[in-house]
Amino acid sequence: MARILITGGAGFIGSHLCERFLEDGDDVICMDNFRTSTPDNIAHLFANRRFMFIEQDVTTYIYVKGPVDAILHFASPASPVDYQELPIPTLKVGSLGTHKALGLAKEKNARFLLASTSEVYGDPLVHPQNEEYWGNVNPIGPRGVYDEAKRFAEALTMAYHRAHGVETRIVRIFNTHGPRMRLNDGRVVPNFVSQVLGGEPVTVYGDGSQTRSFCYVADLVEGIVRLLRSDYTGPVNCGNPQEVTILEFARTIIRLAGSKSAVVFRPLPEDDPKVRQPDITRARKLLGWEPRIGLEDGLRRTIQFFRDKLQPA
């Protein structure tokens, strides 16, 4: 049984990780300041005696009493809406927050896993994206605050590994969906599902030919757990390699929700990636991992979660 700290543990992915480690018999410390998350995501965990919550901004000094065996650093705004509204906190959590979390890992001799992102690849010139690709990022563009925060966090993580011998892991997370996404998250899945369930037109940016791939959260959590327990220190892509165009994706959600919503087109945002698809060869070989839940199956579960949330009490 391990004692695990999850920063950003009340967020969408973080809360699912809290659940998973508790189910595995571990003690879980969840740290969050609710800047872009909600207590609702972890309310059901407080009755578990192996669950502890610390409300804190991780860009300040982190103190945790007692041993810590692993730290999963998931604190960060993670949607374009959030990090464009919170550009400086996004940069601070990627830099100062990662520094504080790594410092704690060094002090506690804990294994450290960084939640990185496919955004480190920027608007990629290599397709699909593998971990050897260095990316094509505009550092001063509107998305740069998130992209560069995560790129810096990766560099700092590897520096602590090389200079201090901290056991580190880096997961590069591609688009993920599932229960506990915020209704106003601003990413494509909440946008489309909220619009469809509200009987509104579905907003597609550009002509919809840009591609994405979508992984269900339970599959992602399994990949993260396997990576944490592995011996590999380099970055590993975790995502679903099934690539779809945004227009095709919008029509799939309309169909699965039984909606008659129309599709409307808006100008493409600056630096919006034209393609996004993970090469998960490394995850398959090193972790024996690949997604098990198909796109439509996962989307049905996600749509139902949103439907339940949107229904009047």
The 10s digit of each residue's pLDDT in 126-149 is 999 999 999 999 999 999 999 999
Q: In the annotation, is 63 catalytic?
A: no
Confidence (pLDDT) at 230: 98
Q: What pLDDT was estimated at residue 311?
A: 80
Residue 109: CB atoms within 10 Å: 12
Q: Note the pLDDT of residue 313.
A: 52
Cis peptide bond prior to 179, omega within 30° of 0: no
- pLDDT the model gives residue 312: 63
Using alpha carbons, select from 210, 216, 224 the residue that is nearest to residue 305: 216
How confident is the model over 182-190, as a mean pLDDT?
90
Angle at CA of residue 158, ends 136 and 238, nearest 5°: 60
pLDDT of residue 270: 83
- For 146, phi then psi, to 5°, come to -80, -50
% of residues, the chain, pLDDT over 70: 99
Average pLDDT over residues 29-36: 97
User: What's the pLDDT score for residue 192?
Assistant: 96
Rounded Cα–Cα distance for residues 180 and 305 (Å): 8
Kindly report the average pLDDT of the chain as a whole number.
Answer: 96
Please state which of the ranges 1-5, 37-41, 304-308 shows the lowest mean pLDDT. 1-5
Q: Looking at the predicted structure, is the pLDDT value of residue 186 above 90? A: no
Residue 307, token pair as written in the block: 């439907």
What is the 8-class DSSP label of residue 42?
T
Asked if residue 31 has pLDDT above 60, the reply is: yes
Any idea what DSSP says for residue 218?
Answer: H
Domains of the chain: 3-176+216-240+277-292 (3.40.50.720)
* Under 8 Å between Cβ of 174 and 12: no
- How far apart are alpha carbons 169 and 237 in whole angstroms? 11
Percent above pLDDT 90 for the chain? 94
Residue 117, strand partner residues: 173
Tokens standing for 41? 């995501």
Strand, helix or coil for residue 24: coil
Other beta carbons within 10 Å of 49: 7
Hey, what amino acid is at 125?
Answer: L
User: pTM for the full model?
Assistant: 0.96
Catalytic residue among 121, 146, 160, 216: 146
Could you give the count of Cα atoms lying within 13 Å of 287 in the half-sphere of its Cβ?
29
Q: Which residues are within 8 A (CB) of 172 and not within 5 positions of it... i.e. 6 or more apart?
A: 116, 117, 118, 120, 131, 235, 236, 237, 238, 278
Say if residue 80's pLDDT is above 70.
yes
Q: Tell me: the pLDDT tens digits for 209-257?
A: 999 999 999 999 999 999 999 999 999 999 999 999 999 999 999 999 9
CA 150 distance to own-chain centroid: 12
Would you say residue 189 has pLDDT above 60? yes
Q: Which residues are paired to 299 by β-bridges? A: none
Backbone angles phi, psi at 186, to 5 degrees: 95, -10
> What is residue 272's predicted lDDT score, i.e. its pLDDT?
84
